[in-house]
Amino acid sequence: MKRLVQLGVAAALVLATVSAGAADANPSNYKSVLSTLKPGDTLNLAPGTYASGLDVSGLNGTASAPITIKGPATAIFEGRSCCNTVEITNSSYVVFQGFTLDGKNLDGVFGVSAKGSASNLTHHITIDGLTIVGHGASQQTVGISTKTPTWGWVIRKNKIVAPGTGLYLGNSDGNEAFFDGIIEGNLIESPVGYCMQIKHQNLRPARAGQPTKDSVTIIRHNVFIKNDGPSPDGDRPNLLVDGFPKSGAGANDRYEIYGNLFFHNPRESLLQGAGRMSIHDNVFVDVPGAAIYLANHNEPLELAWVYNNTIYSAGTGIKFGNAAAEGDAVVGNLIFARTGSVGITGSIKNKKDNLEQTLTDALTMVKKPSTSLTAGMDFYPLADKCKGSALDLSSFGGETARDVDFNGAPKVPPVYRGAYHGSGDNPGWALGGGLKDTPTAPAGDAGVGTDSAVPVDASTDSASPTDAATGDAPAADESGCGCRTTRASTSATPLCALVALALLNRRAHARSRR
């Protein structure tokens, strides 16, 4: 009996730890309820207009019990002339989920902001399924911005429509780095400037809780769409990633960029990169210059692996403006360049097994070549096309998802060139202007960082373009919470049975963030 009492007490403690509390809030009381949240709590927002924005300060969940602020799309936080729509200060393990941000087109009012430099530590923040509109009054107005030491963020399945700049991560001077994050499944369309930029990184000073080991930032399954509008502060690529610290923490960090759709840029590249990166199994469509342009920027180009990408209607498919100091590989790409253009150019040591074709060739090689998002463009190979000898992908053995294509299908054996492994009818997501259907994460895709977990759904070619999009707001200054769950034990002890029930409840909570 004494043993059962002990087990009952232990079970109660476990249940208290893993059970999530729920609180309801509406536009009249949400601020007072917000201040009461504890680890594991969920704040459920009622539909309505939240005219005073959302300021989250000193709110800290835990890796196993994040704090969730959740609403329907009809819960709308409005921008204010004084402040950013959502401001995050000294908070961690917080999930923002499902609601809408409307900046009311107020110049300099950002959607989600973490500012304040080293005085503000915001780590393990998840921005999940938000709709961000009305934040495009100027190129300097940003949908999601970080200007503080930022690690472990997950930015997932958000729709950012017509912003000044979609995502601007890291401070413009190279301090306050964004690293060890996941940006996945987002739609960023019609920005004035970048769809997304991650800034270059200076030396990282030691800070409480900040990881020092090598890390990877993953950019996957996003849709980056530009339009023909002017960029008053300078032309920008759809995506720009820059380099890492020269020594110390982060010196061996890298980016993995895969499974994304890059569509249209009238004056710049679709992707520009420096630092250390792999770029694989993406689809690039419609650019007069280089679809992929890799060169020294604020930091040097160090390592560049570019494999199994499909590129259509580009002036140049892949261009290296500088040699990659630590090595390169350009392998298994399928490129349909514009008439008189070249597929691959620049200082590349390891180039092999690519198909460099013309636009006319595409008509007999892929299902429906097109530069129209609404006309059903489809670059899936026709029968017995886009194939060759088996690719040697062994050099990329440490890469996330290197063995699966744009659709998440296995490359067995890896004989296709481009982003798709197969032929006939495309079994995956139809290219278009919405959120991409996210493939199931491959086995062994354990995530990045010490605490974050990967969800299971899973131009002119200027060598150093002017970077005017600092994201500094003229009037109002301006990571990811991965909750690991384990299967409940089947032990017949009362404690394990109670824990199993608690974990099942907890798993339902975690499932909403995947």
Range 88-205+213-483 has CATH code 3.20.20: no
Cβ-based neighbours of 384, under 8 Å, separated by 6 or more = 423
Asked if residue 301 lies in contact with residue 268, where contact means CB atoms within 8 angstroms, the answer is: no
| H-run or E-run covering 95 | strand 92-97
Distance in angstroms (rounded) separating the CA atoms of residues 44 and 75: 10
For residue 364, give every residue at least 6 positions away whose Cβ sits within 8 Å of its Cβ, in sequence order, or none. 382, 385
Query: Which pTM was predicted?
Result: 0.85
Q: What are phi and psi of 9, to 5 degrees?
A: -65, -45
Please state, in angstroms and rounded to a whole number, the distance separating the CA atoms of residues 103 and 243. 31
Spatial contact of 40 and 18, defined as CB atoms under 8 Å apart: yes
Beta-carbon neighbour count of residue 409 at 10 Å?
A: 15
Q: For residue 49, give the nearest of 73, 25, 76, 69 by alpha carbon.
A: 76
Domain positions in the chain: 88-205+213-483
Q: Does residue 22 sit in helix, strand or coil? A: strand
Three-state secondary structure call for residue 41: coil
How many Cβ atoms from other residues are within 10 Å of residue 437's Cβ? Answer: 13
> What pairs with residue 168 in β-bridges?
145, 197
Q: What is the pLDDT along the chain (514 residues), one digit of tens a residue?
A: 444 444 444 444 444 344 569 999 999 999 999 999 999 999 999 999 999 999 999 999 999 999 999 999 999 999 999 999 999 999 999 999 999 999 999 999 999 999 998 889 999 999 999 999 999 999 999 999 999 989 999 999 999 999 999 999 999 999 999 999 999 999 999 999 999 999 999 999 988 889 999 999 999 999 999 999 999 999 999 999 999 999 999 999 999 999 999 999 999 999 999 999 999 999 999 999 999 999 999 999 999 999 999 999 999 999 999 999 999 999 999 999 987 678 999 999 999 999 999 999 999 999 999 999 999 999 999 999 999 999 999 999 888 899 999 999 999 999 999 999 999 999 999 999 999 998 865 443 333 333 333 332 333 333 333 333 333 332 333 322 222 233 233 333 333 333 333 433 443 433 333 3
